C-alpha cells in the first residue's frame, strides 16, 4: 500500500490511468480528461502532482505510465472500490449503477479495518448455512415489500432440513480436499490449507489466500497456466505449480 498522502481527486486520476492502460496500453491526457469529465488544464495539474510524488512517468506530449509505486497505489484504490461495490450488490441487493456510484464516493475515506470487515462479512455469508444466496434474496424482498415475519418459522425449518440433507448426502464428500487447479471459471471454493514452505507461496498467503478464505475462479488460460482468481478483493494471477499447493473444497 502507498504510504504517502493522496487526495480523493488524485486517487481518481490513478484509477483512470490504470484502467486506460489496461484497455489501450498507452495513456494520453485527453483520454483521462474524457474519462473523468474534466478540463485539459485540470489533467495537466494533476499529472504534475502525481509525477512529483513519483507515482507516474509524465512528460508533456508523451504517453503516461504508472511507476511501480503508482501501480500499487492504483490497485489499492480499485480494490476498495470493488469490495464496496460487490458488497452493495451481493449483500445489500443494491442495483449495480447505484452500487458503483456509492463505491466511488466511499472508496477514498473508508478505513482499512472497516474494509476488511466488509470482506469478512461477505465471506461469512457465503459460507454460513443460515445465509447464502437465498438469504440475500429474502433480504432484497423485505427491502422492496416491507418486513415480513409470517413465514420465519417455515424458513428456519427449511434451512435446517437443507443442512441435514447436505450432511447426510455428502458429509464426507463436502470436506473432500481438492486442488484449486481442478476448478473452472465462475466456481467458488473455500481454502482448506496452503503449503507455505515455498517462497512464492508466502506471497500468496500475504495476499489473503489463507484457510477459510473464499476464492472465485475468474479465468483459466487455455493450457491451465496461469489461473486468475479473486480473493479478499485482490485479483491474483497464479502459476499452475502455485495452485497445486492450495487445497480447497468447492462451494
Residue 112 and residue 19 share a domain = yes
| pLDDT tens-digit readout, 79-117 | 999 999 999 988 888 999 999 999 999 999 999 899 989
Asked if 48 and 40 count as a contact pair (C-beta separation under 8 A), the reply is no
Give the pLDDT confidence score for residue 63 in this predicted structure. Answer: 92
Residue 219 and residue 118 share a domain = no
Residue 185 and residue 83 share a domain = no
Q: What angle do CA 112, 84, 37 make, to 5 degrees?
A: 105
Give the pLDDT confidence score for residue 37 in this predicted structure. Answer: 94
Residue 190 and residue 100 share a domain = no
In whole angstroms, what is the distance from residue 76 CA to residue 15 CA? 9
The residue range of the domain holding 108 is 1-152
Least Cα distance to 49 among 4, 86, 83, 90 occurs for 4
Give the pLDDT confidence score for residue 96 in this predicted structure. Answer: 92
Give the pLDDT confidence score for residue 55 in this predicted structure. Answer: 96
Give the pLDDT confidence score for residue 172 in this predicted structure. Answer: 45
Mark which of 152, 169, 195 sits at the end of a domain: 152
Asked if 216 and 222 count as a contact pair (C-beta separation under 8 A), the reply is no
Number of domains the chain contains: 2
* CATH number (domain holding residue 78): 1.10.10.10
Residue numbers in the chain where pLDDT is lower than 50: 172-173
Residue 136 and residue 63 share a domain = yes
Residue 140 and residue 59 share a domain = yes
* CATH number (domain holding residue 234): 2.30.30.90
Amino acid at each position: 500500500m502507498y504510504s504517502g498522502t493522496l487526495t480523493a481527486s488524485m486517487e481518481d486520476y490513478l484509477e483512470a490511468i490504470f484502467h486506460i492502460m489496461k484497455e489501450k496500453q498507452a495513456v494520453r491526457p485527453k483520454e483521462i480528461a474524457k474519462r473523468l469529465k474534466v478540463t485539459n488544464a485540470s489533467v495537466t495539474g494533476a499529472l504534475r502532482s502525481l509525477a512529483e510524488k513519483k507515482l507516474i512517468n509524465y512528460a508533456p506530449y508523451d504517453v503516461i505510465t504508472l511507476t511501480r509505486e503508482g501501480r500499487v497505489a492504483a490497485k489499492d484504490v480499485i480494490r476498495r472500490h470493488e469490495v464496496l461495490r460487490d458488497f452493495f450488490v451481493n449483500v445489500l441487493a443494491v442495483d449495480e449503477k447505484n452500487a458503483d456510484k456509492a463505491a466511488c464516493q466511499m472508496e477514498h475515506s473508508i478505513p482499512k479495518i472497516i474494509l476488511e470487515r466488509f470482506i469478512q462479512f461477505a465471506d461469512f455469508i457465503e459460507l454460513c448455512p443460515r445465509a447464502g444466496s437465498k438469504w440475500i434474496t429474502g433480504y432484497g424482498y423485505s427491502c422492496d415489500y416491507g418486513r415480513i415475519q409470517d413465514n420465519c418459522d417455515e424458513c428456519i425449518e427449511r434451512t435446517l432440513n437443507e443442512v441435514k440433507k447436505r450432511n447426510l448426502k455428502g458429509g464426507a464428500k463436502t470436506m473432500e480436499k481438492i486442488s484449486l487447479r481442478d476448478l473452472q471459471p465462475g466456481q467458488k471454493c473455500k481454502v482448506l490449507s496452503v503449503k507455505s514452505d515455498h517462497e512464492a507461496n508466502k506471497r500468496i498467503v500475504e495476499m489473503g489466500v489463507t484457510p477459510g478464505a473464499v476464492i472465485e475462479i475468474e479465468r483459466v488460460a487455455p493450457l491451465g497456466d496461469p489461473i486468475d482468481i479473486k480473493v479478499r478483493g485482490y485479483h491474483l494471477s497464479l502459476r499452475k505449480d502455485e495452485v497445486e499447493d492450495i487445497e480447497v473444497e468447492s462451494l
